Each structure stands twice: as C-alpha cells, then as structure tokens.
Structure 1
Amino acid sequence: MINIKKVVFIILSVFLLTGCMNNTKDLMKSFKDYNGKKNSYELTGEMVIVSNEDEFTYNIKVGVDNKTNYKVSLVNTINNHEQVILKNSEGVYVVTPNLNKSFKFMSEWPSNSSQAYLIESLINDVNNDAKATIKEINGGYEIDSSVNYPNNQKLERETIITDKKFDIKEINVKNSEGVSLLKVKVNSINYSPKFDSNYFKLDTLVKETDSSKNNKTTDKDTNKTTETTDNKTTEENKKTEEDCISTCSDDTCKDKCKKTETTGNVLDDIIYPLYVPTDTYLHSKDKVSTDDGERVILTFAGVDPFILVEEASKINDEMEIVPVNGEPVILGNTIGALGDNSVYWSASGVDFYLTSNTLNSSEMMTIAESITNGTSLVASTK
C-alpha cells in the first residue's frame, strides 16, 4: 500500500512539473508572438542612465516603420538638450539638431547590440537566451534574459515587465550584482502609427540658425579648469600634430589633430577627465588655432596613452555630416560616436575627440563618461 502511494505521488509530481513547464513555454511563446508582430510602432517614455553615482534622465520618443526606418529622439530633462538616432535607406545618423551636426555610420545598428527602447531588440534578447525565464507577477508578467552590449560589459541581464496582454511597460538592464544601470519606463505605444513621408529624412532635423549667435558657450558646472599654455615652437607644434595623427584611424580624427593659422572662437577652459587608467598621466597641453577658433590637445602618456582633443561646439548654418567608422553609444548625458580606436561626442558646448592605440572601447567610454559627468580633477603632469 505504501509503495502504491509513493508511485501515485511521483506520477502526480511529474504531471504538475510538466504542466508548469508547459505553461511557462506557452507564456513565453505568447510574449514572443504578441510583440514579434509589432513591425511598426510609436513609443514614448522615460529612460534613466546610471553612471557611477549620477543619474541622467531622458524623455524618449521612438518611431519604427516596418523594422526598416528608425527615429529615436532623446531629450535630456536637465538641460533640454535633444539628440536623435536616425536610420533610413541612406545610413545611420546621430544628430544634434541645435548644432546642425550629425555623425553618419555605415552600421548594422540596431541589430548589432541590445537596445532597451526597441521592442524587436527585446525579442531578440529573449530568443538568444536559451535560459530566459518568464513568471506571472501582480498585474502582468516578468521576463528575464541576458543582453548583448559589446561596448558596455557592465550590462549583463534585463528584466522586462508587461501587463496581462503582454504590452511592455518597463525594462531594467542590470549589472552582475543585479543593480539597474539602465531603466526604460514606457508611457505609451501606438501600434498603428501614421508617419509623415518626411518623418525619417535627415533634412527635417535641420535647424534655422542666426549666424550672429554662432558663439561658443561652456557650462561652468562641469569639470573645467582655466589653463594657459606657453607658446610652442614650430618643431614642438609639428611633433604634437604628428603624435596625435598617429593614433587616428579616420580622416575626421586626423583633421582634428591638424593646426591652421586662422583664429576665431576661443575655448576658455580646459576640461580634464575624472578617470584615467592606472599609471597613465597628463604629459602635455597644447592650444592651437583652427579655422573656427581654438583647439586644445591633451596628451596622456604612460601604460595606456591617449590623446584628448577639445574645441568649442560650432552651430552650423547647414547640416554638417561627419562620417565615422563605428557605432552610436550613450555616454551618460549625451550620445557619442564610437570608432575602432576613437570616440567623438559633444557636451556642455564643447566637442570632444578621444583617440588611443592601446585602450579598448570600454576604457575609452569610461574616460568619456568621466568628462561629461564629472565636476573637477587635479591632473598630475610629469
């Protein structure tokens, strides 16, 4: 009799376990089927980026047309600074409308990495993780999966919160300790959007400018220290230019290293990174004249040498398109362009160009974030 009870218990346990497994599979399939069919949509929400101890909040608006054309507007809630990631038949762009400036990429974005604000990217993350899980929570479901952020190894897993219909409500991307570093809260999704015929065209982002206002400004709340540098000899200037160019892999970077004789707008302050790699130090500072004003070249030497170029941002009368071999990346409070051995970005009225032959993309992004997010630094010079 005892043996019969044990057999019945085992059989019931197997049925219950199988039922739970089948139910989980059914839920996951329903989530994928429901959201996988969303080829076009318009999404609004809020995105929070956590960088060290700082949080940066963006209002986001995403437009997707047949998983072919993409337009992602991100507006920084602190300074109302807008940048747009645009993909159309001509390429991938990161546009700063207020400067009439755009980086253009020949890129596989957005399919080459995870994007927490794109539905199809979330589905890809779940499909690519054989151990992805789903469970029922109060009012909806919670899906957990791995992520693919090749340029930010800190981001390892994501949690997707949906309602009972599987409409996505919230996404949290976390590090290995379960701390959320990227959060997206969805306010609305329209699955039947009607986009204007020009909605995904670059020229719609061009801003009319007043050339008399084309002055460079800087934000005094960032890590800036006014510096003066001695006049350099011709030989010293040539050596600095050659050292800078030697680290470049594209023409845009090389142009930033070159010196001209015309002066205009002046970059008042030099901005130093809050983070530099171990056994790396500031070796030299050079101020040089350009067609548009003044440029600062900071050369860091040591174990992981790099060069940081700074100049006041220019408001262009027409859209300036800068070709870059790389990918768009979020650097705390701004969007930059990450290349093979360089990163370009604009923040607080200053354009930055960082290049290195030894640093990997993660290290370059860490340095860049320390510049855009920091407040002060006393750099040692040897």
Structure 2
Amino acid sequence: MCRKIWIFVLLGLLILPLAGCGTKDAKDVVSDLSKRSEDLESYISHGKMAILSGQEPQEYDVEVWYKKPGYYRVALRNLKKNTAQILLRNDEGVYVLSPSLKKSFRFQSDWPYTGGQIYIYQTLLQSIVDDQGRQFQAGKNDYRFEVVAKYPFNKQAVRQRIWLDHDLNPKKVDVLDQENDLLMTVSFDRFKPDAHFDKDAFDTQRNLQPMLSQSKQALAAVKQEKQDISSVIPGYVPDGIRLANEQTIQTPNGPVAVLRFKGEKSFTLTERRTQEIAASLPIMGKPVDLVQTVGVLLEMGDRKRLTWTYDGVDYELLGDLAESEMIKIANSLYDQPAK
C-alpha cells in the first residue's frame, strides 16, 4: 500500500513541472515580444523580399544590421538588376547610399521609427504589440500573428501575417491588400541576435567604399551610353490631370527630358542620365520604398519632390500631389516603353 502511495507521489511531482510548460497564449507571447524589443542590444537579419504589386515581381536580397541605441544599416540588392542601395542611420543622420554610383543623400529624419519597413524586426514587433485586435495562432514550430499593416509608402497594404519561431525570431511576413491579395513578402533565412560589429560598421564612408571598384565600372558604363535621353510616360496619372507638354533641354551635364502635367493639380517629371551626387548637407526628407528602388522624398510646404535612380536614369517628380499619388506615379514608370 505504501509503495503505491509513493508511486502516485512521484507521478505527481513529475506532472507538476510539465503543467507549466504548455503552449503559450497570445498574451504571454506579446509580453515576451515587448520585453525583447526593450532588451534587444543588436542583431543581423537576412532574407529575400518580393514586391508583387507591379507588372512583374521584384525580388531583393535584404540584410539588416542593428545596434543599440539606434544604429541601422539596411542593404537592399535588386536581384534582377544586380544593383544595391544602403539605408543607413548613425550619429550624423539618415542616409540613402548608392555605392556603385557614389550617390549619397543625408536627412534629418526619424526613420525607421515612423516609416519602418517589413524587413526591420522592431517594426514587426511593434505592429504586433500595438494591434489590440491581433489574431494569434500557436503552431508546432512557430507563432503566427495577423495584424493591421501600417506602411505609409503603400496605402494598399491593409493586413499582414507575421511568423515567428518559438525563440521569437522572424521567419516570414506577408502583406495583403483589402481583397487578401499578396502585395509583399519577406522570407528570413538568418537572424542572429547579440551580433558584434566593427567599430566603423555604421560609418558613412565605410559603407560607400566596399563597392568603389564597381562604381568606376558603373559610371563608365553610364558615360558610354548614348547621351540622348528618351522620355518615359507614367503608366498612371491621377484623374483630372493630363500631359500638357514635353521637351528635351540641353544642359552642361547632358540632355534632360521635361514632362509637364496640368489639370486639377500639376506636376513636372524630369528624366536624365545618372549623375554623381553627394548631398552632404542635411535636408528635411525621408527615404521612400518604391517598387524598383529607394526614393528620396522632400516636402516643401504644399509641394513635394521625389527623386530616384533606376536603370541608369535619374528621375525627379515635383508637384503639389499627395505622397501616395507621387509614389503611385513613380512606380508606374517601371517597365514602361521609352518614346
């Protein structure tokens, strides 16, 4: 009899610890995410991003470096065009760098805190923590959240699904529109917390130098191209606006195609062969994700200026349009035939 009692006691002692090891619920996981966001010292993440909202998918290789209190380095490489850009945040400001073209823009900006992207880990954590209407599902190997998508550069984005492994590391993100169609996705293949960096890892000049040998080749290729510029008409123009006139102006740096659109509102689009630009003075602006590249948006009262470089051409869009409209126009230029 005593032996049976002891067996039951031992079984009870074994069962008690197991009872506390059950699957976590949404409240527990969200609490862990909040704590991790606060305690996170550094990380390196890597993955593949696909943007599906254009005529054909655009794929990028994305690597993010982060170091507390607020240093970021995001390297984006377009897999189709094999071109790279770097978004950098350090003590001097926020930069958009195009190392192969030696182009550098510096901003006074709070990026990525108010305009984070789906490839930034903290942006994903914050979107989960902030959404009180979040949906949660615990799987055998991961946690899945469905939350509101808040991306100023993409007004079509409504919902996003976020997969985290049980160590709370990112696995995958899907961004969906109102019809539940997929707009963007990121699949992470590496996430290393508590990463160590060289002292100058977030230095601006350091991040322009690794590709200087390639920059000579890129600039030489641009100079070898025909100096003529063929204008590209946007595939999208807001209602009530039409193309009023277009002309090509000869400048000391080559020809510039100028397209003027007028109507209820107006805007001007200029196109020229890529130029070397190093904007070292801080300007009030922000980086903007476009389908094909990263743009630079400046606000000047009611007017806005959006600039970007793609496939050997520098574009500038100047007008009194909403930011979302300017981004839509810029994205509609991708793969449009030249005149």
Give the deviation of 1:80 after TM superposition. Answer: 0.7
TM-score in terms of structure 2 length:
0.84
Query: Which residue is equivalent to 1:225?
Result: none
CA contact 1:217–1:349 (8 Å) conserved in 2: no
- Counterparts of 1:303 and 1:217 in 2: how far apart (Å)? 41
Query: Which residue is equivalent to 2:286?
Result: 327
* Equivalent position amino acid for 1:279 in 2: G
The answer to whether structure 1 residue 301 and structure 2 residue 303 are counterparts is no
Query: Which residue is equivalent to 2:167?
Result: 165
Aligned partner of residue 271 in structure 1, secondary structure: coil
Residues 357-377 of structure 1: CA distance to partner in whole angstroms, max 9, x if unpaired?
2x1001110100011x23338
Larger fraction in strand: 2
The answer to whether structure 1 residue 290 and structure 2 residue 254 are counterparts is no
The answer to whether structure 1 residue 213 and structure 2 residue 172 are counterparts is no
Aligned partner of residue 342 in structure 1, secondary structure: strand
CA contact 1:336–1:345 (8 Å) conserved in 2: yes
The answer to whether structure 1 residue 93 and structure 2 residue 95 are counterparts is yes
Give the deviation of 1:210 after TM superposition. Answer: 4.4
CA contact 2:42–2:195 (8 Å) conserved in 1: yes
Give the deviation of 1:28 after TM superposition. Answer: 2.5
* Equivalent position amino acid for 2:257 in 1: V
- Cα 1:324–1:367, aligned 2, differ >3 Å: closer, same or farther? farther
- Counterparts of 1:130 and 1:119 in 2: how far apart (Å)? 19
- Counterparts of 2:127 and 2:83 in 1: how far apart (Å)? 30
- Counterparts of 2:337 and 2:281 in 1: how far apart (Å)? 30
The answer to whether structure 1 residue 364 and structure 2 residue 326 are counterparts is yes
- Counterparts of 1:162 and 1:37 in 2: how far apart (Å)? 18
- Counterparts of 2:224 and 2:145 in 1: how far apart (Å)? 45
Aligned partner of residue 112 in structure 2, secondary structure: coil
- Counterparts of 2:190 and 2:216 in 1: how far apart (Å)? 36
Give the deviation of 1:96 after TM superposition. Answer: 0.8
* Equivalent position amino acid for 1:47 in 2: M
Query: Which residue is equivalent to 2:310?
Result: 347
Aligned partner of residue 120 in structure 1, secondary structure: helix
- Counterparts of 1:148 and 1:286 in 2: how far apart (Å)? 39
* Equivalent position amino acid for 1:184 in 2: V
CA contact 1:297–1:307 (8 Å) conserved in 2: yes
CA contact 1:325–1:339 (8 Å) conserved in 2: yes
Question: For 1:120-199, what aligned pairs fall within 5 Å after superposition?
Answer: 120-199=122-201
RMSD: 2.5
Query: Which residue is equivalent to 2:232?
Result: 271
Gaps in structure 2 of 5+ consecutive residues: 1-21
Aligned partner of residue 61 in structure 1, secondary structure: strand
Give the deviation of 1:27 after TM superposition. Answer: 2.8
TM-score in terms of structure 1 length:
0.75
- Counterparts of 1:210 and 1:31 in 2: how far apart (Å)? 45
CA contact 1:283–1:300 (8 Å) conserved in 2: yes
CA contact 2:33–2:129 (8 Å) conserved in 1: no
CA contact 1:327–1:339 (8 Å) conserved in 2: yes
- Cα 1:34–1:90, aligned 2, differ >3 Å: closer, same or farther? closer
Between the aligned residues of both structures, percent identity stands at: 28
Query: Which residue is equivalent to 2:30?
Result: 28
CA contact 1:59–1:74 (8 Å) conserved in 2: yes
Give the deviation of 1:314 after TM superposition. Answer: 2.2
Residues 83-129 of structure 1: CA distance to partner in whole angstroms, max 9, x if unpaired?
00000000101111111001221111000123211111112212221
CA contact 2:30–2:128 (8 Å) conserved in 1: no
Residues 181-232 of structure 1: CA distance to partner in whole angstroms, max 9, x if unpaired?
12111111111222111111111214255498274467xxxxxxxxxxxxxx
- Counterparts of 1:281 and 1:34 in 2: how far apart (Å)? 51
- Counterparts of 1:210 and 1:119 in 2: how far apart (Å)? 34
- Cα 1:374–1:304, aligned 2, differ >3 Å: closer, same or farther? farther
- Counterparts of 1:151 and 1:134 in 2: how far apart (Å)? 26
CA contact 2:88–2:202 (8 Å) conserved in 1: yes
- Counterparts of 1:304 and 1:217 in 2: how far apart (Å)? 38
CA contact 2:46–2:188 (8 Å) conserved in 1: yes
Aligned partner of residue 29 in structure 1, secondary structure: helix
Give the deviation of 1:23 after TM superposition. Answer: 3.2
Query: Which residue is equivalent to 1:51?
Result: 53
* Equivalent position amino acid for 1:86 in 2: L
Q: How many residues are treated as equivalent by the alignment?
A: 309
* Equivalent position amino acid for 1:106 in 2: Q
- Cα 1:277–1:49, aligned 2, differ >3 Å: closer, same or farther? same
- Counterparts of 1:49 and 1:303 in 2: how far apart (Å)? 31
- Counterparts of 2:224 and 2:259 in 1: how far apart (Å)? 20
- Cα 1:217–1:334, aligned 2, differ >3 Å: closer, same or farther? farther
CA contact 1:312–1:351 (8 Å) conserved in 2: yes
The answer to whether structure 1 residue 374 and structure 2 residue 335 are counterparts is yes
- Cα 1:123–1:349, aligned 2, differ >3 Å: closer, same or farther? same
Residues 222-265 of structure 1: CA distance to partner in whole angstroms, max 9, x if unpaired?
xxxxxxxxxxxxxxxxxxxxxxxxxxxxxxxxxxxxxxxxxxx7
